[in-house]
Chain A
């Protein structure tokens, strides 16, 4: 039971950390020059990810994490209460 909880936790973490890596190190650095050929408003896309977009995604990621973990906690707390 506890192991399932930990496994789900690791799954959530690995997905979120991958997104974290892609929006910052990926879009902001590695593929940044490539993305610069696209433009949104006055921003080149790679520049926007490096100085703005990555930060917005970070905020989003933390809130997705809070939401998923609260759900997970609730599920396992209810289960363990059911056991007793």
Chain B
């Protein structure tokens, strides 16, 4: 059977499984809709959390980014796993003990103020939508490449599936679907990694394989990779190019940002006991670490294989994956020296950020682009980093069923995260905005109805993001993490560990973190893009890392302002005492 048919079968079967689970476990009360009735086993909850956490960015983009960034890419590995430790130790057990439905619930109660709750809701909706936009792009890429359907149709199929199990099933449906999605995605990630590790180093464990010697030689893979990359004019693979302070701040922003991501925090509201919240955080981190420790191995293999299979190869003889990805516009080749050979080295192949294809074909049959070649270097290949994980099995010439499996896995990763985020958005609208702020008189049944409506609207908007992708998806990702770090995380942390913090301090802190971080990112990412380089940055900190500074400002402002206003009321003290008890 060819890869195309296999892909349809794998994706179809996995979708049927998700829908089946959604029907079997649909929600009947607000409690089940928001937090699955608190009846989820810690291991199942751990898997669901892991699927929720690992998005299309983790599955599709991360290893590709690291493949091209080398050691600089460690910020994602440490940032996204290290943030989890903060969440598990500093937030999850206490928020579970507090025992309500949403993150704004906690902020509203702890700071005895609907204004604080509103600020939290705004930050939360912004962070969640930014994140959803990225998932939908992932779904679009997978559908257009592997199922060869129109991207728009692909996004609509994805929307229908998510609609079905998020709107009907609520948290309960999503949790059990995510357990299945975790199994699909981790299997799909590990199988090609193990295959490639055996092919390249003879070691079946990728985590060890990429530190091993190459087959039939006594040269270490990483040493060879360092040598090859430096020869092509890149930085050595295992060395940093960014300054230490920038790497420090980016890692910190990603860590504190992930710890403040609402769709993951809400996971810990779904287990029966506080000790279960701790336990399920532990299981989740194991499940996450399996993928995250494999990712850098995949990156090293992919970079090596990619260079080996295209460097100095005649375009006409180029492998089919090269041309397939060129056909959907994520690879471009410009024969600068007219020798019909592909030359790959450092520097941009083309002027401008992205290739702008026209319908023509060049002398060797390559797609023509309108961009001028960048003649300051000899690199002829444009490659979108997002394709590395998806193309990896084909580059390594693995059988068709592995390629099909990876497609199903990537969809599982994107859909599971999208569903979790949509649920958080719908809960914050129906519960925090309507029930707790504007329409307190509605019954539970009405609230459930509004929750389903807002989930439906949120899915519709997310789908629009996928069909008309905003050109700025990559830029706004810095935003999502930066803002979560600068607003939500400090409010939660101080809410638990510093009793004296009053509502004035908390609101001033969140607002100053929000304003300063957004101003810095908007200035360098949207207004003055030309100035976006290390010389102009404040202390050499890039917009991606500025959320960390925003967070420090938030802490400082909150503490100072708090000092000038009266203490929180006694019942808040009691509440904090209560969540601190064993």
Contacts and interface: CB of A to CB of B under 8 A. Distances in A.
Nearest to B292: A55
A64 to B, nearest CB: 10
Nearest to A31: B244
A74 to B, nearest CB: 9
A27 to B, nearest CB: 10
Contact of B244 (A29, A54, A56, A61): A29
B161 interface: no
Interface in A43-81: 43-44, 47-48, 50-52, 54-56, 58-59, 61-63, 65-66, 69-70, 72-73, 76-77
Given A25-B248, A52-B296, A66 B282 contact: yes
Given A54-B81, A55-B289, A42 B282 contact: no
B85 interface: yes
A20 B256 CA distance: 13
Contacts of A24: 78, 82, 251, 255
A44 B211 CA distance: 9
B78 A62 contact: no
Contact of A2 (B85, B240, B580): B580
Interface string A12-34: 01001100100011001110110
Q: Size band of the B side of the interface?
A: 35 or more
The interface centre, meaning the residue of A20, A43, A44, A52 with most chain B CB atoms within 10 A of its CB, is: A52
Nearest to B581: A2
B248 A59 contact: no
Contacts of B582: 5, 72-73, 76-77
B84 A58 contact: yes
B279 A66 contact: yes
Contact of B285 (A9, A13, A20, A59): A59
A61 B248 contact: no
B74 interface: yes
Nearest to B220: A42
A58 B81 contact: yes
Given A29-B244, A55-B292, A73-B582, A65 B74 contact: no
B263 interface: no
Contact of B77 (A43, A54, A59, A63): A54
Contacts of B84: 58, 62
Nearest to A80: B582
A62 B223 contact: no
Given A25-B248, A43-B211, A59 B71 contact: no
B580 A44 contact: no
B336 to A, nearest CB: 33
B278 interface: yes
Nearest to B299: A51
Contacts of A9: 580
Nearest to A28: B78
Given A2-B581, A28-B78, A13 B293 contact: no
B318 to A, nearest CB: 30
B222 A54 contact: no
Contacts of B88: 62, 65
A16 B287 CA distance: 21
B531 interface: no
A55 B77 contact: yes
Given A29-B251, A56-B289, A62 B85 contact: yes
Contact of A48 (B89, B211, B247): B211
Contacts of B89: 13, 16-17, 61-62, 65
B312 interface: no
A75 to B, nearest CB: 9
Interface string B298-336: 000000000000000000000000000000000000000
B175 to A, nearest CB: 21
A15 to B, nearest CB: 11
B286 interface: yes
B90 A13 contact: yes
B227 to A, nearest CB: 13
Contacts of B346: none
Nearest to B497: A10
Nearest to A41: B211
B265 interface: no
B441 to A, nearest CB: 38
Contacts of A77: 582
A17 B73 CA distance: 23
Interface string B502-534: 000000000000000000000000000000000
Contacts of A16: 89
Contacts of A13: 89-90
Interface string B241-264: 000100110011001000000000
The interface centre, meaning the residue of B82, B278, B577 with most chain A CB atoms within 10 A of its CB, is: B82
B223 to A, nearest CB: 7
Contacts of A32: 240
Contacts of A73: 275, 582
Contacts of A50: 71, 74, 77-78
11 contacts: A17-B90, A29-B78, A43-B222, A47-B222, A47-B238, A51-B71, A55-B81, A55-B293, A70-B278, A73-B275, A77-B582
Given A62-B85, A65-B88, A70-B278, 6 more contacts: A5-B580, A9-B580, A20-B86, A25-B252, A52-B207, A63-B282
Interface of A: 2, 5-6, 9, 13, 16-17, 20, 24-25, 28-30, 32-33, 36, 40-44, 47-48, 50-52, 54-56, 58-59, 61-63, 65-66, 69-70, 72-73, 76-77
Q: Which 9 A-B pairs have the closest CB atoms?
A: A42-B220, A50-B74, A42-B211, A51-B296, A43-B211, A41-B211, A47-B238, A73-B582, A76-B582
